[in-house]
Structure 1
Amino acid sequence: MSRILDLARRYWPVTLTIVVGIAGLVLASLGSGWLVQWLFSVYSLAIAAWQAVGMVRALLRREFGLDVLAVTAIVSTVIVGEYIAALVVVLMLTGGEALEDFANARAKRELDALLDRAPQLAHRSVAGEYQDLPVNEVRVGDVLLVRPSEIVPVDGVLLSAGATLDQSSITGESTPVEKVAGDTVPSGAVNGQEAVAIRATATASASQYQQIVALVAHAAESKAPVVRLADRFAIPFTLFSLALAAVAWWLSGDPVRFAEVLVLATPCPLLIAAPVAFIGGMSRAARNGVIVKSGGVLEQLASAQTAVFDKTGTLTYGVPALSEIRAEHPFTEDEVLTFAASAEQYSSHVLAAAMISAAQERGLHLLEAESAREAVTNGVVARIQGRDVVVGKFAFVAQHSPNARRTEIAPGELAIYIAIGGLYAGALLARDHLRANAKATLQRLDTLGVKRSMMLTGDAAETAQHVASELGITRVRAECLPADKVTEVSNVRERPVIMVGDGVNDAPVLAAADVGIAMGAKGATAASESADAVILVDDISRVALAVRIGRDTVQIALQSIWLGIAISVVLMTIAAFGLIPATVGAVTQELVDLTTILAALRAIGGRLDKREQEADTAGVAQSAGTNAPITR
């Protein structure tokens, strides 16, 4: 009962219209038909006046909407004595808000789910016990307990031996992910059946899930582009409806025909279809790991002509991996890697992780250093087992080992040199690799109508050309500064243009593009904040998916609008011959509204099944064999 009362208060115009209708039925049963006519007519004209005020205000803002049709339909039905039809039109208008609210709630289900799941409490370890506290009070370094089926409150590192996490709400992964001690644990993931302990590595506001929630909240607030889409049809539809009604009146000589036509020209299909479709498209994108910040972004994606990509971390994985060890006599490959990784334990350079990871994969035992120091941008010097170990750039290592010599490298490879005990011990080669589905993504974009592609990178020209040739990209600009990227994107003629990047240095060009898409899986950055859409998973194929969702959404919105217009035009034409009474026409128009809403709800789509994902990333297996060498 309380639910019904809440709805009645929330949609008071609908409630009031129903009350007026019931009162009319009571008066009619008492034989006061003339009073019913006055009640319905006065109430309908009052609503028309209320609508007219809004219409005038919109016109003063130079915004032409569809209110004029509704107001004219109400006034004309009252004038010709079709007071029941007038009340039905009023019910349709006031009920339109309730219908749109329901449809929007259905369309926003995935967006709202993310907002509703935001964790509120955390369990912090204090003197051997766990105490509950608001998630916003968690500090970096706090040890937290995550109970079975609870949501991880902040980003952290797993302290327990193992955990099973459901990350589907933030990454779209359908299967649980196994974690071991030391692995990163993202906020928003749902813990499995065993309680685990984590150490917080970020506060709530800086954690991945809270950043996603902020993006979703921003996305849910945007509706302006939707209005523009509907308004494209407002003037021609209004003029056609008024002209048809006037012709019907003129040919028949009966003013009732004018009213009978206009009650079937009410604008709900145009007012509701587009918003529902766009919110549904945004919800569909969120369900598939892409947060789109506004309906306008979907419109731009739908008509995109050019896709521009950053290289490192976007077209490539952005994580250098050891590719070859060139040991010098008397050292073996395992010795070179063991000493290099042991020294790199004391370095914060991105290449250090690659060396350590490679040693662990080979089952090598890392040695503890007696002392170590890092020479920023050059390398590391460590004393291990009584010998000085120097790892880093050639010039740096050559200062400690006169017999050091450069090694040959392929385009895009990077050599890390090492000297042990004053002797040159060899070089370790590292390189980045193309994403396995990068080429397939470009091909998919081409089939979706994004025919032109371009790569912008700060890397050397030789490396950039090598990567571009592997992917079939013909337009390349290398050795770019952030300002150069902005200039290049601004000069692209084939627009709208999509820019895809992942780093802080990409923030300016993402903001400058028609649609900036950030690869935000590695955490919230300036790139995510300045982008129009954020991909939550480390999967470049979601760029093509975002374009497809944009095209589907706009297509469904237009189809729904045209469906409503087509049905209305057919019914108006029939009514022009006097075959549809005004009251019947008003009721029929409600069915047109419902049909239009149901058509627009198709934009919600469904989760891509396995076969669709395989189709979207066709050629991945073939592309995976391409290990293009790339450096930062």
Structure 2
Amino acid sequence: MRRVSAATGAYPLVFVTLLVAAIGLILLATPARETAPWLVGAYALAIAGWEAVGMIRQLLKGHAGLDILAVTAIAAAVTVGEPWAALVVVLMLTGGAALEDYAANRSKRELTALLRKAPQQATRLLRGDAAPAGGPTAERVAEDVPVEAVKVGDLLLVRPGALVPVDAVLVSEHAVLDESSLTGESLPVERVAGERVSSGVVNGATAVTMRAVALASDSEYQQIVRLVEQAAGSKAKVVRLADRYAVPFTVLSLIIAGIAWGVSGEAVRFAEVLVVATPCPLLIAAPVAFLGGMSRAARFGLIVKGGGTLEQLSRVRSAAFDKTGTITTGRPALERILAEPGFDEMSVLQFAASAEVYSSHVLAESVVVAAKQHGYPLLDALGAEEIATNGVAAEFASDNAEDAATTVRVGKPSWLREFAPALALAPLEPGELAIYVALDDRFAGAIVMRDQTRDEAAQALGELQRLGAERTLMVTGDVAATAEPIAAGLGINEVHAECRPSDKVSIVSAVQPRPLIMVGDGLNDAPVLAAADIGFAMGARGATAASESADIVNRYDTLTSLPLAVRVGKDTVRIALQSIWLGIIISVGLMLVAAFGFLPALIGAWLQEVVDLVAILGALRAVGPRAERKLKASRANAGGAQRTPLTGRESQRTH
């Protein structure tokens, strides 16, 4: 039972129980054979007493569980002269907890595999005069430091085959990287100087240099690790799934045992019924099934933060979507640059891209890519800061050394207008969006881009509806002229445009039927993701607040993961319920056989061990079909996965 958990000594107790059994059997072969039942019975009662203390504590907290059956069965078996049957029940308790721990570790191995791969160290390059006393005097000195010691702006050396320790910008001209741990892409990915590289990526065969743009605590892989730790350590609400049956099953068991005793007039019948009524499957099968479901989801890049989320997923009836970076790719193409008098298109795009390097915004990468496509070199910033939901501000050295540094701000118009009052909104066509740029107190211009609907969006929404989603809606901060054509093309006939974060929360809170899943990726989506029955965050770049507040984090940038998550939820709940009912049916059947005196207590206790094993093996089916696991492995080995670059978050930078 849960009281005897692996954390509190299930494995040592299994050993002690087996040792007591061995000593008892040895005593049976000696003249002191009469002491064996006393030893076995005393040990069994001691364990029952320990369980009883825990049971009472839980009852005082208002939690009724199944521990009373185990305690009563042990006490009854010892009382009627069946100490060996009582010892088998003790073995079931201790061994069941150990089996649960083993099965749980197996079922969440995909989650723990992510934790083992977290970057731990970084190689920082120091200038010769900054090296430790007595160190080398070369222009650059390599120093191995804990990843937590890396600061923004540090120059890092990433050796062949090493992990990128923090989010960084590539300084070397070229790099070949393995991004499979973040995107699921098994083929090597080429990056060029100036491109942002996420932590957790594996370098290729050539050493490269990078410049850190985020602290370890703010970098992508470390934040994924934190989310995984939260998921792996979550106390799943699934416990309640089994506990729903606890009180009625306990009452039914005691009634059957009492009737058997009353009709036969033999107290031993009472014990014989209860030793097969100790339903560890009810306590073990459900948690193992839900951990298996979480592990199966992790195999496909989905971090599910608790078993209760899987239970909600199995009953989804409504789905709400953000637009940019969720329904659309979040990687728009450059349409045109609207430069203000005194600025040219090159300077507007160059300054914007040089600042956006330090942003985790969903649109930032597109601005950087556009600058590189036009051949504009990125400028080195003196410092940078991302202002949540608004944009990014970066300082650059002035051409005149005597002048103060220039502050470039890139982001939403309402924020930039606080510093550049002359800002004018760009004229936009349907489907276009604008990113605004200001230098100090001067409005420099706007970069107009066009986003594209995800190729898989229509199929994902269709599958979601087939899985039970009756109502779909788009809830976005973008203008209606941009949002409505996209929604119409996907069959979403309910659009709420120009929504602020508080508006999204109000809309989603009123949607019926429930449960509702909200899909978003932006920092401004964090409140609505937290308010929804199920928050589904697209991508985990920069450990956005969206990822922190969501119930599910999709590490791979594809909407196909959404119906997959719902399918995993449905499969997991189905398997958990099957395992629970299997345990109940078998236990009730054995109780009825024991009630008629056909099942001695010792044999019944051993049969209950078999029931435990069957229930656990059944629950492990939630880890996923074997063919599915083989297919995933073969794709990884063959390098046939489709590349799906990871995106970041939306900050409503458009008009």
TM-score under structure 2 length normalisation? 0.79
Contact 2:534 2:551 in 1 (8 A): yes
1:475 matched to 2:494: yes
Report Cα offsets for 1:388-408 as digits up to 9, x if no partner.
xxxxx9x9799xxxxxxx98x
Larger deviation: 352-361 or 366-375? 366-375
1:211 matched to 2:216: no
1:578 matched to 2:578: no
In the TM superposition, 1:582-597 aligns within 5 A as 582-597=601-616
Residue 137 of structure 1 aligns to which amino acid in structure 2?
A
TM superposition shift of 1:505: 1.2
1:511 matched to 2:530: yes
1:490 matched to 2:509: yes
TM superposition shift of 1:198: 2.0
**Alpha carbons of 1:68 and 1:10: their partners in 2 closer, same or farther (altered >3 Å)?**
closer
Distance 1:376 1:181 in 2: 22
**Alpha carbons of 1:252 and 1:173: their partners in 2 closer, same or farther (altered >3 Å)?**
farther
Contact 2:257 2:270 in 1 (8 A): yes
Distance 1:475 1:20 in 2: 68
Residue 511 of structure 2 aligns to which amino acid in structure 1?
V
Map of 1:242 onto structure 2: 254
SS at match of 1:345: helix
In the TM superposition, 1:171-320 aligns within 5 A as 171-320=183-332
Distance 2:350 2:257 in 1: 82
1:90 matched to 2:95: no
Map of 2:639 onto structure 1: none
Report Cα offsets for 1:524-567 as digits up to 9, x if no partner.
22212222221112222222222222222211111111122222
In the TM superposition, 1:602-617 aligns within 5 A as 602-605=621-624, 606-607=628-629, 609=631
Map of 2:106 onto structure 1: 106
Residue 36 of structure 2 aligns to which amino acid in structure 1?
V
SS at match of 2:303: strand
Identify the match of residue 333 of structure 2 among 321, 324, 327: 321
TM superposition shift of 1:357: 4.6
SS at match of 2:512: coil
Report Cα offsets for 1:569-616 as digits up to 9, x if no partner.
222222233222211111111111111111111222254847999xxx
**Alpha carbons of 1:378 and 1:599: their partners in 2 closer, same or farther (altered >3 Å)?**
closer
**Alpha carbons of 1:429 and 1:153: their partners in 2 closer, same or farther (altered >3 Å)?**
closer
Report Cα offsets for 1:136-160 as digits up to 9, x if no partner.
1111222222223322211112233
Residue 351 of structure 2 aligns to which amino acid in structure 1?
Y
**Alpha carbons of 1:515 and 1:366: their partners in 2 closer, same or farther (altered >3 Å)?**
closer
**Alpha carbons of 1:497 and 1:46: their partners in 2 closer, same or farther (altered >3 Å)?**
same
In the TM superposition, 1:70-469 aligns within 5 A as 70-126=70-126, 127=128, 128-323=140-335, 340-341=345-346, 343-347=348-352, 357=369, 361=373, 410-413=429-432, 430-469=449-488
Distance 2:8 2:372 in 1: 66
Residue 217 of structure 1 aligns to which amino acid in structure 2?
E
Map of 1:424 onto structure 2: none
In the TM superposition, 1:514-553 aligns within 5 A as 514-553=533-572
Contact 1:340 1:355 in 2 (8 A): no
SS at match of 2:463: helix
Larger deviation: 110-119 or 599-608? 599-608
TM superposition shift of 1:165: 2.6
Distance 2:197 2:50 in 1: 55
Distance 1:444 1:64 in 2: 40
Distance 1:227 1:397 in 2: 56
SS at match of 1:500: strand
Report Cα offsets for 1:183-216 as digits up to 9, x if no partner.
3221112223333322222111111111111111
Residue 238 of structure 2 aligns to which amino acid in structure 1?
V
Distance 1:510 1:300 in 2: 14
SS at match of 1:313: coil
Residue 595 of structure 1 aligns to which amino acid in structure 2?
V
SS at match of 2:216: coil
TM superposition shift of 1:89: 0.6
Map of 2:644 onto structure 1: none
Contact 1:80 1:259 in 2 (8 A): yes
SS at match of 1:534: strand
Report Cα offsets for 1:243-264 as digits up to 9, x if no partner.
2222333343333222222211
Distance 1:181 1:213 in 2: 27
TM superposition shift of 1:298: 1.4
**Alpha carbons of 1:7 and 1:22: their partners in 2 closer, same or farther (altered >3 Å)?**
farther
SS at match of 1:118: coil
Larger deviation: 594-603 or 348-357? 348-357
Contact 1:123 1:132 in 2 (8 A): yes
Residue 72 of structure 1 aligns to which amino acid in structure 2?
T
Distance 1:340 1:205 in 2: 36
Map of 2:30 onto structure 1: 30
Distance 1:234 1:612 in 2: 43
Give the number of equivalent residue pairs: 571
Report Cα offsets for 1:472-506 as digits up to 9, x if no partner.
11221112111111111111121111111111111
Distance 1:299 1:95 in 2: 28
TM superposition shift of 1:411: 2.3
Gaps of 5+ in 1: 1-5, 327-337, 380-392, 399-405, 418-426, 614-629
Residue 86 of structure 2 aligns to which amino acid in structure 1?
A
Map of 1:627 onto structure 2: none
CA RMSD in angstroms comes to: 3.6
Structure 1 segments, 4+ long, off by >4 Å, are 6-10, 323-326, 348-361, 363-379, 395-398, 414-417, 610-613
Larger deviation: 32-41 or 497-506? 32-41
Distance 1:52 1:266 in 2: 14
Distance 1:480 1:19 in 2: 67
Distance 1:567 1:506 in 2: 47
Larger deviation: 342-351 or 261-270? 342-351
SS at match of 2:35: helix
**Alpha carbons of 1:341 and 1:548: their partners in 2 closer, same or farther (altered >3 Å)?**
farther
**Alpha carbons of 1:527 and 1:377: their partners in 2 closer, same or farther (altered >3 Å)?**
closer
Residue 412 of structure 1 aligns to which amino acid in structure 2?
G
Gaps of 5+ in 2: 1-5, 129-139, 380-397, 401-405, 414-419, 437-445, 636-652
TM superposition shift of 1:315: 0.9
TM superposition shift of 1:66: 0.3
SS at match of 1:311: coil
Distance 1:569 1:86 in 2: 19
